[in-house]
Amino acid sequence: MRRKICVIGLGYIGLPTAAMFAKTGWDVLGVDVNAVAVEKLNRGEIHIEEVGLGELVSEVVNKNSLCASLSPNNAECFIIAVPTPHHEDHTANLDYVIEATKSILPFLEKGNTVIVESTIPPRTIDDIVGPILQNDGWALGEDLFLAHCPERVLPGRILIELVENTRIVGGINEESAHKAAEIYRSFVTGDILITSAVSAEMSKLMENTYRDVNIALANELAKISKKLGIDALEVIQLANKHPRVNLHLPGPGVGGHCLAVDPYFIIEKDPEQSILIADARAINNSMPKFVLEQVRKLVSRKGEKVTVLGLTYKGDIDDVRESPAMDIVSLLNEEGYNVGIYDPHVSQSQVSFKLSTFEEAILQSSCLLVLTDHSEFKDLDEHLIVNKMQRAVVLDTRNCIKINHPQIKYFNYGNLYEINPMQELVMK
């Protein structure tokens, strides 16, 4: 008899996870409140963009190994992979996690394993999820097993990294951790590390906080280098020749549902001690306005057109969550610019801003602003830029475009110091 698993939440993590379990011999029920996503999944279609996911979902749905529903059902294991957004004060909103936990209560049976994959603040398993299950009469670690197994995957490589990456499994007790680890071993080839739930929660947050702090260091370097007339990109390249140095690259800010959110989950638990983490968040949050300042110097007249390339928080994906590009577009609109937007990975239904084709977006534009490093942007038609734009100026905040045409003025974090308020007059 095939083993049954129920995955609550069919987003960027839940759906690939459900599909992977289905591929490796489980009967999987995927649950989501999004009726459109459920209907598409049951037709073998997907509602998100991820390399290889469409083919995998089609395969397992056609084999009747994966189906979707608006409500849970009985299973051997329940995996909670719902979003954990934040409130306006940046504290974690755990409503979805709480609702998902409560939704499975009528279907729990003795011997079941409950795994929370959602990113959560430290002690959420011990202080919130565990008590919900205990109040329903379950003895955790004895007749019901509870664990936290945070996702650790990179968009664009999710199906590969679900299998190959090391997994951290933190149980409410040791038996719970081992039960959860056994479930993941059905497809994970990477190491599976056993620990406590609270250590698993904190390790996930620190992985992303480490990266957020490193990016903040690079962004701060970019600001200092602009003021001092230094090529920040060259400095990073030289510094990284040291065997124990690995500086990240500066950019327009930090986005996504991990790096831009997870550090706050630590800060809320101990704000007095989280000084460095909070400062890093402030630096990265300041970058959209810093980018706007550079645009102002390049395009001083309100009403002129600025073209934005890319709305997602990283290249070659369709995820706009917490994307600094979205903030920058809002700032440009507030500033009174005419904004043209092109992103080949984003559909109009995802955003309120009007999207255009590349040629429409650059027509009569005074500045081409690159905010995402999509593959499509790395080899732009330079002759089209020169012939269609009012002024052939590129500000590349992702440092990803190679410009060879002599009539195109190109700026990135290596030469920001060349931008000045008189730039527009100089280039006319």
Catalytic residue among 204, 226, 305, 388: 204
Catalytic residue among 6, 77, 149, 258: 258
Contact criterion met (CB below 8 Å) for 115 and 77: yes
Residue closest to 7 by CA, chosen among 162, 195, 156: 162
List all residues 6 or more positions away from 381 whose beta carbon is below 8 Å from its beta carbon: none
What b/e sequence results for 318-346 when a residue is b if at least 16 CB atoms lie within 10 Å of its CB, and e otherwise? bbbbbbbbbbbbebbeeeebebbbbbebb
Contact criterion met (CB below 8 Å) for 284 and 253: yes
Contact criterion met (CB below 8 Å) for 327 and 253: yes
Residue closest to 282 by CA, chosen among 206, 328, 213, 371: 213
Contact criterion met (CB below 8 Å) for 337 and 304: yes
204 is annotated as an active-site residue:
yes
The first and second tokens of residue 287, run together, are: 């970058």
For residue 252, the tally of other CB atoms under 10 A from its CB is 26
- The residues annotated with a catalytic role in the active site are 204, 258
